[in-house]
Structure 1
Amino acid sequence: MRNFTLLFLLLSITTFAQRPNRGNIPKITLTGKIIEANSKQPLEYATLILTHLKSKRISGGVTNQNGSFSIEVPKGEYGVKVEFIGFKTKSLQNKQLTENTNLGVITLSEDTETLDEVEVIAEKSTVEIRLDKKIYNVGKDMTVKGGNASDVLDNVPSVNVDAEGAVSLRGSENVRILIDGKPSALVGLTGTDALRNLPADAIEKVEVITSPSARYDAEGTTGILNIILRKGKITGFNGSVNLTVGNPDMVRVAPNLNYRTKKINLFSNLGYSYRKGPGNSQSFFTNFDNDGTITDYRNEDRVFDRKNKNFNASLGLEYYINKNSSITGSYFYRNSNGNDIATNITDSLNINREIGSREIRIETEKEDGIDNQYSLNYTNNFDRKGKKLTIDLQYSDSDETENSPVVIDGVLAEQNSQVTTSKDKLFQIDYVLPIGENTQFEFGHKTMLQDLFSDFKVRDADGNPFEFDPSNAIDFKQNIYAFYAQYGNKTNKLSYLLGLRTEITDIDLNVLTTNQLSEKNYTEWFPTVNLGYELNDTDNFTLGYSRRLRRPRHWFLNPFESRSSATNIFRGNPDINPTFTSSFDLGYTTKIKKLTLNSSIYYQHSTDIMQGVSLTEKRTQNGKTFDVFVRTPVNLGNEGRYGFEFTSNYNPTRKVRLSATFNYFKFNTEAFTYSYIDANGVNQSLDLNEVNESSWFARFNSRITLPGKIQWQTRLMYRAPQANAQSDRGNMFVTNLAFSKDLFKDKASLVLNVSDLFNARKRESTTYFYNDAGNLSTISNGTFQWRERQITLSFTYRFNQKKKRQRPQRNFDGGRGEFGG
């Protein structure tokens, strides 16, 4: 791997060194602003195209969020043209550019003849590079058609979604997920599980923020994933309807409707889905005595039969008070009903692997959940010169009820129930003050208040508690108060954004069943530094530093125990503390004709890392004593992690588009002794050795146009093995295929999608357990498959959104705003 890293760096340096040297050609800076003719609103991402009249070389750039552009080009005579989708192209007189020139304000008018031919969804996915983030435009990726938000995230460079739905960024699950820049009921009480209920068609883009500026929450030690939902931008009534069917059984209907005038924008994302989610797992335990001799075995086979009905509706109204300000109100509602059956067959085997006893344990879980969220936003752009005020208010409440009776060998053995309610409030204010043309100052405040109650009861068939009673009830309150300020400037080729954020955290956890009260109050400072340097119009460097934290979520703190197995469970830890991380990121982007390369080197140092460990407890029930294997999160020592990432996009022809991502990381976790009190009140300790391991993952994506204008997309993903303090995880290889055909004069699309073609998306792991004397007591070999291969057929019909091909990409670096934002 060291040789590969060296080869990668040499290749990058050699590629740059072989470029034609344009540094001797004198350059000038061309500035100006592009606005809409009627509303006078700035047009972000409008394209200014410059064609050198002698060499015919094309260059240019795009506008930032204020409609402004600043482009550096060699001296010469140019043809100038301005484009924006849905607007008439404007050609300016040829310009003899010999000195810095301001073109002033350029107005564009809507093209009424083509407005009904504009597609909200882009033709192809693109990645925009900003100073503090990368923006992945979802586009028309066929491998996520008919899918959900988890499928979209799993298609984003740097991101992986494992077999259980856990989202990781650059190999780490310490990532913060936001919806439209804010915490959302779309994520829900169950975390990333709720992302499976958000249709992929509702997502416009995903922001990958590996070096967040001070305006973003400090939560998420690896970074932030911000999911941006679609809002119509076209005048009049338009929309689309998506119908998806699949095997295993799956039906989804997802209308997307929008109505816009000069004064209002009414938008909605609706969705109803029914799906079966078959899955399976196996855990094989090998038990040893103190001298290392095998004593016996145990095998647990689980089959998951899941059925889920979900309805979600997002409705919003944006009212334009005047040309500079607007107010937006939105409401989100979700109603989910789950009926999951987990069948666990446990075989106890002797030394000869002969079955001595068998237990069949069936847990039937019925879950009903309702989420409501109310949001209000006020935005004022003042003089349209960059000064901006935004105010956000948000309230959400969530209720979940679960009933999970357990039948053992045909007899009712347990009656389990859990009721969870949560109320969340948010207030946020941000103010941007420009200072001259290329400088801005920003400051803001954010308050997040959460009040959660959970009551979990375990009872026998007669409604009485067991001798060992895992029931618990918690009252969890978390209040976070944040303040930030940042200063940004762009001078010639150098851009920088310096910020400081402070967050005051107040957490109260009261375990009502044991009268255990845990209070955690801390105030922390989080500096951020983001630098950008443009070598020329195709090459640029970025450098970022940020301090981050990871707070334990309520399910990590809740001493709730899973019940689908009596001997192999997960339990939260009320004593866990936050993790703090300092991150450094150096990035390089270059374009060579039809090839775009993005690369970065990163380093992270974390303290009090949160990681799951496996413990062994002795329990007695019905007169029998047995071992219980408990998986629980704990704070280990410090960890250092470094790696590099390499992403490429190559479009050799209009019919072939290729992209690839490679990410290598290495981490070192210090040796650590974890002391705890087991369920019987006995002091125990677990010695964890130093971990010095590495891993990597790679993704390849191709999109090819076949005869008959059939689009064929293939996506391959490989994740290498990885080890931590107590377990080894195996590799995984996943293949997705999709075929798409446009119908009815491009008003509709039909997509056939095969997710996990070879049914290989499984998590394979080996975990090592040790007894009180530090000797190996048990080895567990496990395989887990959250969902099996899925085949879907998706039909989308667009009205007043007749699909229009995206304008061809120009050979210059568009899409970098001065300061992100």
Structure 2
Amino acid sequence: MNKITILFILFCTSIFAQRGTNITVTGKIMEASSKQPLEYATFIITDVKTKKVTGGVTDLNGNFSVAVPKGLYDMKVEFIGFKTKQLPQKELSADINLGVITLSEDTETLEEIEIVAEKSTVEIRLDKKIYNVGKDMTIKGGNASDVLDNVPSVNVDAEGAVSLRGNENVRILIDGKPSALVGLNGTDALRNLPADAIEKVEVITSPSARYDAEGTAGILNIILRKGKITGFNGSLNTTVGHPAQFALGTSLNYRTKKVNLFSNLGYNFRKGPGNSQSFFSNYDNGVLNDFRNEDRTFNRKSNNYNGSIGLEYYINKNSSITGTFFYRTSKDDDIATNFTEFFDVNRNKTGDQTRIENEKEDGTDTQYSINYTNNIDDKGQKLTVDLQYGDSKESEPALITVDGVLSEQNSQITNSISKLVQIDYVLPIGENSQFELGHKSDLQDLNSDFRVRDGNGNTLPSDPSNAIDFKQDIYAFYTQFGSKLNKFSYLFGLRTEITNIDLYLINNDSFNEKNYTEWFPTINFGYELNDNDNFTLGYARRLRRPRYWFLNPFESRSSATNVFRGNPDLNPTYTSSYDLGYNTRISKFNLGASVYYQYSTDVIQRVSILEERNVDGVLTDVTVRQPLNLNDEQRYGFEFTANYNPAKSVRLSGSFNYFKFKTDPFNFTYTSNSGETVVTNLDEVNESSWFARFNSRVTLPAKIEWQTRIMYRGPQDDAQSTRKGMFVTNIALSKDLFNEKATLVLNVSDLFNTRKRESTTFLYEEDDTLRSVNESSFQWRERQISLNFTYRFNQKKKRERPERNNGDGDGGEGFGS
């Protein structure tokens, strides 16, 4: 069905509308096997006597409505990749509802259909934005962190920390649920998830009650690719790169009318060189006293295997059950070399030290999932049940040498078991309203044993070993109701979460318990001014629970003078978030704008303090970083996004985000290891920052595609430090081969090797006397060059039928525009 045919249908419709009294023909078009509504399916109706043709196109929920004069009509339904369905000839004399019309896939013609128009990069929903990432070449050979770093509103810093609109407390889900794919350490796990496995990312800045309340900034929901084409098909991709990189992966899918068998297998080897530098200027009573310089290099080597297999069985035309097994194993060998030089006030060198930490990491993650879906009736009533069990194990032995002598033998063993039960029920009310309710139990039981021994295997005099038992059980209940009245839509929801946290510090024989029950209302409004302009307005209450590594008080050991430790007394942060958005299409432009405001209490932030300790017989100022609950914070800003396609060969997009945050002053008093009472004053923070992206994709001669992505993150200050701006450029060249069955991509990530975090931290005494200044830079990964080759069999790059928007990735039905 091309544009000319659609225009012809619309023209005929206008002619019919002028022929006196019309009647209305309505109905709903759905896919026969999955019972999912088909958006953009075409209903065609022909007057038997006059042979005049009219028709209509279905909406998001598969509904159509056509006005015609009374008479005798032939009717049929068409959709790309499906068999055309001819309906019985009818004499129409009054309004009629044809009910649900189901279409079946046409397996013979499916691969012969060419889709000229590409799927929109951005899709707007009432409570989220959906970014389709399949056309982004700069992520080829990359990982999930690279994908997220290319999504508007999202930033991934030099250490891999993900932030949404400048706020790092963002909840990351896989297919709408917590997943073993994120593992014990979310940052490292995202680096191990290949980009080719990701289909799209949902950015949910004003989540409805259906979603977890966790994440004060919002939610990023990563949707993985799943096979949709009948028969056997798949793809094979491999990547080689410098610094040393090799990846091999395959995605296989076999689908019939009764079963859908799918699998993903992958291997990844990578060396990741990185570096950091810290230069300390130390003061005594405000007078410069001495200097210390720490140069650290990171040589990382990782081997990761991951695999998943799943089977979906269609019990009957309305229900199905899906079982999935996921397994990952990783073996890392990381060497961090810390070379420290000491200088007097005149910058004369007084000593040096070389401290090397060789840490090996063996980890396994397994996850078993079962999903039951029952489309109870043809009107959209739906019940889904999810069961999930995950088991993660991680062993991290580490040897530390100081000036060539074995100083410490450390080890950390962490085991975590997670269980999830989720039930969601959707009840349509009439044509335009929907009621939902559900329950979720998310249970985690974790044990971490951290042991420190000297070079001979003996316990150190002040034993820093630590072991914890951490248990967190969350029980959630939600309900929400939404409706659409002409151009106006709304979604009201209420969620309650009961949290029980038990933290047992085994070495200290101390027990911390935190139990709380909170309510989280959500409100979302939408208004369609016309087909091209719409507004959204949302409110949500959110929270941030401290993770176990923020609660565990053991100290890191890679540096004797710059350490991190957790805080078992942390409380959750609560945030009220407001978001107003506008989206418009003007000719070849797609423009979006948002204004947002967030108010948070008990903000969690890492704070640096100084302790004077004996390091190898010398009294030294040691920097200790620790998370604390600060006072309230206000954060507000605005963002713009734009897509412009001046021609088929040129596609441009950009985004700009500006935000301002204000934190109340805070005084922190603590007792150091030596028994000294130390007071740290944190002044009021009233600062702003911004970041911008530009992306272009140009088709060159010989059908070579060239993509450039530029990102700049502006400078930012907080209570103790100032951070410089950061500029990053990625480029990629792509060429289709073998009649579009294969694609070759050359990708250069961080072209100018400028992806570094540079900052200056100021520490003061209680009376605001300067104590220390730390000028630092950190580069997690240096410039990466990679070559990726993908081969597809029984599927073609541009010959897959377009996907239907089936709502949320978590199985719930999407609601709104």
Same fold (TM over 0.5): yes
Secondary structure at the counterpart of residue 196 of structure 2: helix
- Which residue is equivalent to 1:455? 449
What are the superposed Cα offsets for residues 162-190 of structure 1, whole Å, 9 maximum, x if unpaired?
11100001111010001111111111111
1:364 deviates by: 0.3
- Which residue is equivalent to 1:721? 715
Pairing of 1:690-769 with structure 2 (within 5 A): 690-769=684-763
Pairing of 1:768-779 with structure 2 (within 5 A): 768-779=762-773
Distance in 2 (CA, whole Å) between partners of 1:762 and 1:776 is 27
1:755 deviates by: 0.4
User: Structure 2: which amino acid aligns with 1:371?
Assistant: D
Does 2:261 match 1:266? yes
The 1:115–1:621 alpha-carbon spacing in structure 2 relative to 1, beyond 3 Å, is same
The 1:231–1:145 alpha-carbon spacing in structure 2 relative to 1, beyond 3 Å, is same
Secondary structure at the counterpart of residue 384 of structure 1: coil
Distance in 2 (CA, whole Å) between partners of 1:120 and 1:568 is 57
Q: 1:599 aligns with which of 588, 593, 601?
A: 593
Secondary structure at the counterpart of residue 150 of structure 1: helix
The 1:802–1:515 alpha-carbon spacing in structure 2 relative to 1, beyond 3 Å, is same
Distance in 2 (CA, whole Å) between partners of 1:537 and 1:750 is 38
Distance in 2 (CA, whole Å) between partners of 1:392 and 1:491 is 32
**Which ranges in structure 1 are unaligned for 5 or more consecutive residues?**
1-24, 52-57
Q: 1:662 aligns with which of 656, 665, 671?
A: 656
1:680 deviates by: 2.6
What are the superposed Cα offsets for residues 242-264 of structure 1, whole Å, 9 maximum, x if unpaired?
10000000000110011111111
- Which residue is equivalent to 1:166? 161
Contact 1:234/1:260, CA 8 A, preserved across alignment: yes
1:571 deviates by: 1.1
1:517 deviates by: 1.3
User: Structure 2: which amino acid aligns with 1:732?
Assistant: M
1:569 deviates by: 1.2
Does 2:177 match 1:177? no
What are the superposed Cα offsets for residues 574-595 of structure 1, whole Å, 9 maximum, x if unpaired?
1111000000001111111111
Q: 2:582 aligns with which of 570, 575, 588?
A: 588
The 1:416–1:496 alpha-carbon spacing in structure 2 relative to 1, beyond 3 Å, is same
Contact 2:111/2:800, CA 8 A, preserved across alignment: no
- Which residue is equivalent to 2:402? 408
- Which residue is equivalent to 1:207? 202
Distance in 1 (CA, whole Å) between partners of 2:539 and 2:23 is 32
Secondary structure at the counterpart of residue 127 of structure 2: coil
Distance in 1 (CA, whole Å) between partners of 2:747 and 2:66 is 44
1:619 deviates by: 1.9
- Which residue is equivalent to 2:143? 148
1:563 deviates by: 1.7
User: Structure 2: which amino acid aligns with 1:196?
Assistant: R
Secondary structure at the counterpart of residue 702 of structure 2: coil
- Which residue is equivalent to 2:774? 780
- Which residue is equivalent to 1:5? none
User: Structure 2: which amino acid aligns with 1:775?
Assistant: T
1:604 deviates by: 0.3
Q: 2:235 aligns with which of 220, 223, 240?
A: 240
User: Structure 2: which amino acid aligns with 1:239?
Assistant: G
Distance in 2 (CA, whole Å) between partners of 1:704 and 1:612 is 43
Aligned residues: 787
Contact 2:249/2:264, CA 8 A, preserved across alignment: yes
- Which residue is equivalent to 2:377? 383
Distance in 2 (CA, whole Å) between partners of 1:132 and 1:451 is 32
Contact 2:143/2:191, CA 8 A, preserved across alignment: yes
Range with greater deviation from structure 2 (706-715 or 554-563): 554-563
Does 2:417 match 1:423? yes
Does 2:224 match 1:224? no
Secondary structure at the counterpart of residue 789 of structure 2: strand
Distance in 1 (CA, whole Å) between partners of 2:217 and 2:124 is 18
Does 2:782 match 1:819? no
What are the superposed Cα offsets for residues 642-664 of structure 1, whole Å, 9 maximum, x if unpaired?
11111111111111111111111
Does 2:157 match 1:157? no
Contact 2:592/2:640, CA 8 A, preserved across alignment: yes
1:83 deviates by: 6.0
Distance in 2 (CA, whole Å) between partners of 1:28 and 1:738 is 55
Distance in 1 (CA, whole Å) between partners of 2:187 and 2:206 is 22
- Which residue is equivalent to 1:346? 340
What are the superposed Cα offsets for residues 550-599 of structure 1, whole Å, 9 maximum, x if unpaired?
00011111123222211011111111110000000011111111111111
Identity of aligned residues (%): 69
The 1:648–1:60 alpha-carbon spacing in structure 2 relative to 1, beyond 3 Å, is farther
User: Structure 1: which amino acid aligns with 2:295?
Assistant: D
Contact 1:123/1:139, CA 8 A, preserved across alignment: no
Pairing of 1:267-666 with structure 2 (within 5 A): 267-290=262-285, 292-666=286-660
- Which residue is equivalent to 1:10? none
Distance in 1 (CA, whole Å) between partners of 2:306 and 2:802 is 36
Distance in 2 (CA, whole Å) between partners of 1:73 and 1:127 is 32
What are the superposed Cα offsets for residues 764-817 of structure 1, whole Å, 9 maximum, x if unpaired?
1111112344311100011000000000100000010122257899xxx99998
The 1:572–1:737 alpha-carbon spacing in structure 2 relative to 1, beyond 3 Å, is same
- Which residue is equivalent to 1:54? none
The 1:423–1:670 alpha-carbon spacing in structure 2 relative to 1, beyond 3 Å, is same
Pairing of 1:116-127 with structure 2 (within 5 A): 116=111, 126-127=121-122
Distance in 1 (CA, whole Å) between partners of 2:681 and 2:76 is 67
Secondary structure at the counterpart of residue 555 of structure 1: helix
The 1:439–1:711 alpha-carbon spacing in structure 2 relative to 1, beyond 3 Å, is same
Does 2:239 match 1:251? no
Contact 2:551/2:568, CA 8 A, preserved across alignment: yes
Range with greater deviation from structure 2 (770-779 or 523-532): 770-779
Aligned-pair Cα RMSD in Å: 3.3
The 1:590–1:90 alpha-carbon spacing in structure 2 relative to 1, beyond 3 Å, is farther
Secondary structure at the counterpart of residue 469 of structure 1: coil
User: Structure 1: which amino acid aligns with 2:260?
Assistant: N
Contact 2:43/2:64, CA 8 A, preserved across alignment: no
Distance in 2 (CA, whole Å) between partners of 1:490 and 1:631 is 50
**Which ranges in structure 2 are unaligned for 5 or more consecutive residues?**
1-16, 46-53
- Which residue is equivalent to 1:133? 128
- Which residue is equivalent to 1:22? none
The 1:28–1:446 alpha-carbon spacing in structure 2 relative to 1, beyond 3 Å, is farther
How high is the TM-score relative to the length of structure 2?
A: 0.91
Secondary structure at the counterpart of residue 201 of structure 1: helix
1:42 deviates by: 3.0
Contact 1:334/1:372, CA 8 A, preserved across alignment: yes
Distance in 2 (CA, whole Å) between partners of 1:600 and 1:48 is 34
The 1:252–1:530 alpha-carbon spacing in structure 2 relative to 1, beyond 3 Å, is same
Distance in 1 (CA, whole Å) between partners of 2:618 and 2:24 is 82
What are the superposed Cα offsets for residues 442-487 of structure 1, whole Å, 9 maximum, x if unpaired?
1111111111000111111122233333221111000001011111
Contact 2:107/2:230, CA 8 A, preserved across alignment: no
1:45 deviates by: 3.5
The 1:60–1:777 alpha-carbon spacing in structure 2 relative to 1, beyond 3 Å, is farther
User: Structure 2: which amino acid aligns with 1:759?
Assistant: N
Secondary structure at the counterpart of residue 113 of structure 1: coil
Contact 1:675/1:684, CA 8 A, preserved across alignment: yes
